[in-house]
Every structure is written in structure tokens, then in C-alpha cells.
Structure 1
């Protein structure tokens, strides 16, 4: 059942809606009206379910994110409606500085399992989640199986107890907005998971195109003697994900080239 009865939003695109799609997986519109909102149609129902679950959780913690107005992740197409924001992307030269506060707020939200919040398998341990992802990447790109196997071994060697927290897991310029009053918000929560906060930093380093991920450690809430090694591991796993699954050939090729040079 859609979460839409009280809002009068049914997931259909009004004639006056303005398309603002920027990615490849979803279509997005800005809808005017008494309550302006952003309507998202998803190519993957699991992503719709996950983003709806993430936004509900974020609202309970009053975290820096859009509000979910309505959702029907199992409709055809799956969709969510979120508050329209009067905000602009944070400039690249201020990105890390402006990201610190909202990211710390997100990483204080505890999880109850590992993996996505909804729409996908949930895991009892962080290592189980990582092994599952590596299996997916190796299956999608058999030429990278040796790299995946090395990372499987690294996960086992570095295995440790992790207390799950909420991760955005798609941090990149464009997903951090600054409102006129100065507050910052994170948008696009469809890939959110519960896990180790340094995995968020590893993916961020990949999205920023860094040849060395260590500069993003400044964003970590907690540092310990294993922090840099874990960040390097997550960075490599996210590079493998891009090399195996990215639909952008430039992103896929760059990630594949970077991977062998790190061992």
C-alpha cells in the first residue's frame, strides 16, 4: 500500500512537472503545488524500498535529509515523493569541510543488522556482508575474480567486531546540498546501508577520484590503529564494485586500471 493517502500523491507525473533527472537509474521530476515535492521513479524496486526506509529512519532522528511525503516501492514503476528543497550543491572546494557535520550526524544513527535497510538480504555480521558483495562483483566480472579473492582474504585477515551505523554509501558532489540558512542536507539515500562508517569514507574516496584515500580519514568519528588499513580495504572493494558493475565505461575502466597497482 502506498504511504500517500494523507498527501494526495499517487506517483503519477503531473502535466506541469519539470523533469530534473541527472542519473541513469531513475527519473526525477520537480512538482509544484500547495506542497512542492520531488517525485522519483526507480528502475529497481529494491532501491525504492531502501530509500523509503532510510528516509523514515532519518526522520525519526531528525537527521539532515529530505522528508518522505509518500512512497509505493512495489508499484510499477516504484516511486517516492520527497520534500522539495531550496538548496544548491556545495562547491567542490568546500565539499569535505561542509560534509563533516551532516556525516557525523548520520554515523551516530545505530543499526540493527548489516546491509541495506530494506529490499535486499540483511546480514548478521559485517564480514558476511562484505563477502556477499565481493561474490556479486566476481560473478559480474569473471576477469576480476583473482582481485576479488585477494579481497576476500583481506576481509578475513582484518575481520573485527563492528557496531553497525547508518551509511549513506553514495557520497559524492551533488548529493550534499546547502540551504540558504546555511544548513547542509544529504540527498539520494537509495544505496544506504548499516555498516562500518569507514566504508562510507572508502566509497567517497573513489567518487572523488583520489589515488590515495587517506585524506578522507579526517571525516571519521573514531580513529583506532586499524583505521587506515580498513579504509584502504574498503576503498579497494569500492573500486572493484565500479570495475565490475558501473554502467559508465569511463568509470569502469578507471577503476579497473587502479586496482592492480595497489598490491
Structure 2
């Protein structure tokens, strides 16, 4: 096949579903997916995540090319012929892929590429809280309370790979029955419980502890951490989401 160069070839079919990127399916002897990103850091991060997943032989699309420095930034990935797992089956179907990716260790905390690296998980979360407070000054007191609670937690977290955008549509099942996670542009190294908390936000669960059966070591400490991370993810939605419905839901649940 001709190696992708970021340009949209003749006959490409647009399959964009989100707000941040544009995505095309390119047919051929080896079909692939071309993504154009509004944020170059996300392109760099997804390229790094796919490279890591392929290195660990984890089921994931194969990276065919990437140019985060291009305008627009882009990646090309092998096409995955699979069906999305229904939201009603998501909590059960995620067990296998999450066990696999949460075993992959990280050399630092934070995004894999395109963003600042941190030595400690707590430092990364403090930095995120500062970002949310700056974007939504009326939520500064909420952010301050989360800062304070964060300082009371045990920070002995060994960073592991996180998908960090778990939601319906990002988990698919291939024709072999194997579950596969897509869309790795927000991947990070950190506490796997943060993945479960974000999943609870995306599924609209009233209690994030409903995801703890997916945790490697559930227990009282895990319960406390997943609730804290859940509120941090709600604050992220309340402060940064471009979807007014998501932003309103985040503010409502926080209050």
C-alpha cells in the first residue's frame, strides 16, 4: 500500500463522530483510518500510545504513520472491523482489556507525549485541578476542596497505562470476539482507578464504586480514591466541556 502522508485520498469516506477531530476511512488492500486533530498534542499522545500498545502486543490498531507537527496534525491507523459493545454490556466487557492495559508500567506520570511529565501522581492531579479552576473561576472553591483532599491520600502510586476516555463507542468487539479499545489520544500514565472514575462519569453512574469490580485491588482505600477521582473528572467536565449538556451535568453532580 502507499504509505499515508496525512492527505485525504480520493474516495475517502468521512466517519467523524466527535467534536475535536475529523476522521476518514480509506478503503484498499489494507484499509486504514486517517485522523486530523485540532490539538497537535493529542496526535502525539495517540501515536505514542499506539506504539506502546503494539510493543506490548496488546490488541489495538497498528500505527501506520503520524505527523503531530503537521498542519493539521494527523495519524494513520489500521482499520478495525468490529462492532461497538452496547453500553449495557460495557462494565462486563471492559474487564479483560483493562486488566491487560493496567499492567503496562509507565516511566512517569501524565500524558505519554505532548504534555508535561510529572514525578508523582498527586502532582499531576494538582496541576489538572489548577487548569480546571483557571477555566472556571466560579468553581475555585470546589477545586480547593479537592486539592485539600488530594493531599490526604497515600501517594504511593506506581504509574500504569490508562485509556482515560472510557465510554460507549470506544470499546468494540472484533469478528474473533476479542474486545478492543479505540481512541487513545487522552491516554496517560497514572492510577488505574482514575480510568474507573472517568468511566463512571461517562456512564452517568450515581456511585463510582459500581466500577470497582474492575479494580485490581478493591477495598476501602480504593473506594475513597475512586470517589475523589470521580469528582475531579466531574470538575473537568464542568469547567472544560464544550457540550453544554455535559457541562451542566458535571456542575449538577458536583453540587
TM-score scaled to structure 2, two decimals?
0.98
Greater Cα shift, 220-229 or 14-23: 220-229
Q: Deviations over 1:146-204 (max 9, x none)?
A: 00000000100114210000000000010000011100100000000000000000000
Pairing partner for 1:169 from 164, 171, 177: 164
Q: Take 1:198 and 1:144, find their aligned partners in 2: how far apart are those partners?
A: 24
Pairing partner for 1:243 from 207, 221, 238: 238
Pairing partner for 2:75 from 80, 89, 93: 80
Pairing partner for 2:192 from 174, 192, 197: 197
Instruction: Look up the match of 2:30.
Output: 35
Whether the 8 Å contact between 1:59 and 1:67 is mirrored in structure 2 is: yes
Matched, 1:115 2:115: no
Matched, 1:11 2:21: no
Pairwise CA distance, 1:91? 1.4
Matched, 1:98 2:82: no
Whether the 8 Å contact between 1:7 and 1:70 is mirrored in structure 2 is: no
Q: Take 2:182 and 2:87, find their aligned partners in 1: how far apart are those partners?
A: 16
Matched, 1:125 2:132: no
Superposition CA RMSD, Å: 1.0
Instruction: Look up the match of 1:3.
Output: none
Instruction: Look up the match of 2:149.
Output: 154
Greater Cα shift, 218-227 or 82-91: 218-227
Q: Take 1:222 and 1:60, find their aligned partners in 2: how far apart are those partners?
A: 26
User: What secondary structure does 2:195 align onto?
Assistant: helix
Give the number of aligned pairs.
255
Q: Take 2:163 and 2:41, find their aligned partners in 1: how far apart are those partners?
A: 16
User: What secondary structure does 2:185 align onto?
Assistant: coil
Greater Cα shift, 216-225 or 83-92: 216-225
Structure 2 gap ranges (5+):
none
Pairwise CA distance, 1:113? 0.4
Q: Take 1:159 and 1:243, find their aligned partners in 2: how far apart are those partners?
A: 26
Pairwise CA distance, 1:7? 5.2
Structure 1 gap ranges (5+):
1-5
Q: Take 2:210 and 2:141, find their aligned partners in 1: how far apart are those partners?
A: 28
